[in-house]
Amino acid sequence: MAANGDNPMLSAHALTLLEKYNTIENVQSMAALANTLLNKNDSVINIYLATSLGPWVKVSSGIFLPILAKISQIYRGTAIYQEAVTSSLNGIEEKFQALLNNPILSKTTNGLIDSVLSSTIKNRNDGKMNSIFVNERVPNDARTNGLLIFSTTCSTCHGTAGEGIENIGPPLKGSQYVEGPSERLATIILNGLEGPVHVNGVLYKFNGSMPNFGNNYTDSQIEDMIKYLHNAFVSKPTDAINATKIKELRNKKPGTLTEKELSAMTYKIELKRK
């Protein structure tokens, strides 16, 4: 089955298709597929899995809520996964909460899901829509837009979970360049980067360099991408950035950057902020 193949995007598309086959006869095979996919431990597949299970939860919450609980636990530090999981609950948030709080499951604390669930329940009780998942399927907000760009472009060199790829690209997970000033991060994406670079205290020397993406993406696409990077790979980004600021940064400095230029830039940005 295509959803069980090796290519994460292929699996993601197939999963989206499988949302149409949510009948009681298919529950067992879907559960088996979901578990196979989970075992691949692929962050892109897992976010699609989390957002695709909504229709299945409606058919059998007993089977699919525990799968969502697993995803929620694996990514307990990352908001976008908690939102993806919550987007598949469709009104049975309390039931999910009870499952998570079941002491038999030896719950490790997961403050993020607790707060996403309570605000979803509160919004529902107040008759309000949930701004982050008004769509039925993959919530079409800035972070999922960013996720799509990330998984089609950046993951080729940085890995689907931002863990980096040997000899190809450094990690983004935990990187000070993702966590630090957003203007610097935007400039890396706009201009590209070359020469040796330190990430998480490790010196990387690649043969290739990071291409520039200024001509490939609009200001707001880069804004979305940065939102995703912040959500997926660091716990406390220094600051946020918007499309207007990204527009200003375009062509401020022509050509590919080096680590040296980046550190000079950080200095300037930090000075300005004081």
CA distances from 263 to 184, 245, 247 (A): 9, 19, 21
10: its two tokens: 């292929």
Among residues 79, 74, 71, the alpha carbon closest in space to that of 52 is found at 71
Q: Which of 11, 51, 175, 182 binds ligand HEC (CB under 6 A)?
A: 175
Say how far apart CA 209 and CA 193 lie, in whole Å.
6
71 or 225: CB nearest ligand HEC:
225
Contact pattern from residue 30 through residue 69 relative to ligand HEC, giving x for each residue in contact according to CB under 6 A and a dash for the rest: ----------------------------------------
Kindly give the pairing relationship between strand 193-194 and strand 257-258.
parallel
Figure out which of the listed residues 60, 73, 153, 266 binds ligand HEC, where binding follows CB under 6 A. 153
- 48: buried, middle or exposed (CB in 10 Å: 19+, 13-18, 0-12)? buried
- The reply to whether 177 sits near ligand HEC by the rule CB under 6 A is yes
Site for ligand HEC in 219-258 (CB under 6 A): 225, 229
Does position 266 bind ligand HEC by CB under 6 A? no
Query: b/e string for 11-27 if b means 16 or more Cβ within 10 A?
Result: bbebbeebbeebeeeeb
Among 209, 220, 245, 266, the residue binding ligand HEC under the rule CB under 6 A is 209
Q: Which residues bind ligand HEC (CB under 6 A)?
A: 153-154, 156-158, 169-172, 175, 177-178, 185, 188-189, 193-197, 199, 204, 206, 208-211, 213, 225, 229, 259
